[in-house]
Amino acid sequence: MNWLSLVANRLIWFLPTMLGLLAIVFILSRVVPIDPALLAAGENATAEQLQQVRERFGFDKPLPVQFLRYVLDVAQGNFGISLFTQQPIIHDLVARLPATLELTLVAVLVAALVGIPLGVLCGLNRNSWLDHILRVVTVSGLAVASFWFAMQLQFLFSMKLGWLPLSGRIEGFPPTPVTNLMVVDALIEGDGDMLGDALRHLALPALTLALPAAATVVRFTRNGVIGVINSPSVAYQKAMGFPRRVIVWKYVLRMAMTATVTQLGLIFGILLAGAVVVETVFDWPGLGAYAVRSILQSDYNAVMGFTLCTGALFVFINLLVDLLQAAIDPRGAT
């Protein structure tokens, strides 16, 4: 199967997946005991005004009709208006998405850069003291609550040592964005101070997100390496007299990476969800913080928009993972 058909095959599943997600999100939003018309009309609205709002937004129609209307709106990129920001939700999401993407991508990058080499080392030195120590560390990394870990990092690096900022995305109010990815904007502007500031602000939230992710990457890479290191192909390469360094980092790693790459895709989705907590603790102005505020204020359209946006991202990342896997191991590209 070529890459084009692989992409087409995955995209066929995109629509039903999103439709299923839409249905779940829509039903959940309607079972919560709040009158959406009341939220839209304001707490002083009269019964007559409430009725007008119901008719205007179609809240008086049967649920299937409301759902159909919502699906059609979403298909046209219309997620509705946020009850509290009074802005189109798509604008709110677009404004906040870069902050979350930047944080999540850096966290995944850190997790991969730390987790893969450590996983390889553990796999090559199975049951050694290094393997045992890293097992304890990785299990702890998976077990620790992210909000607790975030607070410990704040306490140590911001309060005790004073090395890193406590919260926020940049010192003071953010400058007018270009891409709204602070690191990228700083590079575009050639602003070294801003780059340093953005990286310092990224450090703690990214580290918080990266810890459990790196732990997962270590475990999967280790298992992959162990599975491959005793395979006939590696025995053949040894017999051919290839240097150990080449065997490990070129052949073993490539074969062992399939599961790790799949995990990185899943991790990305998990980190998007995990960002809800981390963004709140670190006052990070991304989608997670937006979701928390929307949930607390019962801004259903915004919550549904966030869920769909995150779901679509997750599906997209999985497509990328599939493509990456096909590149690493073409045999699996089906």
Helices (H) then strands (E): counts for the chain: 14, 0
Nearer to other proteins, 204 or 261 (CB): 204
C-alpha to C-alpha distance for 319 and 5, rounded to whole angstroms: 12
The residue among 259, 287, 285 whose CA lies nearest residue 272 is: 287
Task: Say which residue the tokens 């990476």 belong to.
Answer: 257
Nearer to other proteins, 172 or 190 (CB): 172
Closest separation in Å from C-beta 110 to other proteins: 22
Nearer to other proteins, 286 or 311 (CB): 286
Closest separation in Å from C-beta 102 to other proteins: 13
Nearer to other proteins, 38 or 109 (CB): 38
C-alpha to C-alpha distance for 116 and 220, rounded to whole angstroms: 9
Q: Which residues contact 202 (CB under 8 A, 6 or more apart)?
A: 102, 103, 106, 182, 183
Q: Which residues contact 270 (CB under 8 A, 6 or more apart)?
A: 213
User: Which residues contact other proteins (rule: CB under 8 A)?
Assistant: 32-35, 38-39, 41-46, 49, 81-82, 84-87, 92, 95-96, 99, 151, 154-155, 158-159, 162, 165-169, 172-174, 280-283, 285-286, 289-290, 292-293, 295-298
Closest separation in Å from C-beta 150 to other proteins: 9
C-alpha to C-alpha distance for 111 and 267, rounded to whole angstroms: 9
Nearer to other proteins, 39 or 255 (CB): 39
Buried b (16+ CB within 10 A) or exposed e, 222-237: bbbbbebbeeeebeeb
Closest separation in Å from C-beta 35 to other proteins: 6
Nearer to other proteins, 119 or 288 (CB): 288
Nearer to other proteins, 39 or 130 (CB): 39
247 burial type by CB count under 10 A (0-12 exposed, 13-18 middle, 19+ buried): middle
Cα–Cα distances (Å) from 155 to 113, 144, 163, 172, 200, in that order, read 25, 16, 11, 21, 15
Instruction: With H, G, I as helix, E, B as strand and everything else as coil, classify residue 81.
Output: strand
Closest separation in Å from C-beta 158 to other proteins: 7
Nearer to other proteins, 68 or 94 (CB): 94
Closest separation in Å from C-beta 285 to other proteins: 3
Nearer to other proteins, 97 or 122 (CB): 97
Q: Which residues contact 262 (CB under 8 A, 6 or more apart)?
A: 321, 325
Closest separation in Å from C-beta 64 to other proteins: 24
C-alpha to C-alpha distance for 320 and 334, rounded to whole angstroms: 14
User: Can you say how many angstroms the Cα of residue 117 is from the centroid of all Cα atoms in its chain?
Assistant: 22
Closest separation in Å from C-beta 1 to other proteins: 43
Closest separation in Å from C-beta 180 to other proteins: 10
